[in-house]
């Protein structure tokens, strides 16, 4: 599995999570490091991910994925799976974001096993909070 971090997340977060995921046989990439590039629209990066034929998990800080009708439709048609970081992540230092995401990673893997794509869940910043399903 490959994990995709969009422009609404930090490249440092993607690199840190990549270091963690390598021991699990997975990898993480920030949009800036992919051929579609940092300036790709959401529609362009979705099309790129599908075109690779690989198993991707999206990590985004962008609520438009489930709020914007056109993006939601494109996401659903692409059959993607993803996580949207709760708004509180934006106010949290990067080291705590990475630590928290790694701490919750077993729950992420459980979601991937239990749900068929397309799906989208919000990852809350509170450890006791459950992942919240979002509309796709």
Pick the closest to residue 117 from 48, 63, 46 (CA basis): 46
Say if residues 60 and 6 touch (Cβ distance below 8 Å).
Answer: yes
Say if residues 44 and 16 touch (Cβ distance below 8 Å).
Answer: no
Q: Residue 67 above 90 pLDDT?
A: no
Average pLDDT for 89-111: 94
Per-residue pLDDT tens digits for 3-55: 999 999 999 999 999 999 999 999 999 999 999 999 999 999 999 999 999 99
Instruction: Quote the CA–CA distance of 96 and 112 in Å, as a whole number.
Output: 23
Average pLDDT for 83-103: 94
Structural domains in the chain plus CATH codes:
2-133 (3.40.50)
Q: At what angle do helices 69-78 and 42-52 cross, to 10 degrees?
A: 0
Residue 29: strand pairing partners: 4
What's the chain's average pLDDT? 94
- CB neighbour class for 88 (10 Å; exposed up to 12, middle 13-18, buried from 19): exposed
């Amino acid at each position: 599995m490959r994990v995709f971090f969009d422009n609404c997340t930090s490249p440092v977060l993607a690199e840190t999570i990549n270091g963690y995921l390598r021991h699990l046989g997975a990898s993480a990439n920030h949009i800036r490091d992919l051929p579609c590039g940092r300036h790709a629209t959401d529609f362009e990066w979705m099309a790129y991910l599908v075109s690779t034929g690989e198993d991707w998990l999206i990590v985004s800080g962008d609520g438009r994925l489930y709020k914007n009708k056109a993006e939601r439709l494109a996401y659903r048609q692409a059959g993607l799976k993803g996580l949207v970081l709760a708004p509180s992540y934006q106010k949290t230092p990067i080291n705590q974001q990475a630590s928290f995401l790694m701490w919750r990673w077993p729950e992420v893997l459980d979601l991937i096993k239990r749900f068929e794509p397309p799906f989208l869940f919000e990852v809350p910043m509170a450890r006791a909070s459950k992942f919240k399903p979002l509309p796709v």
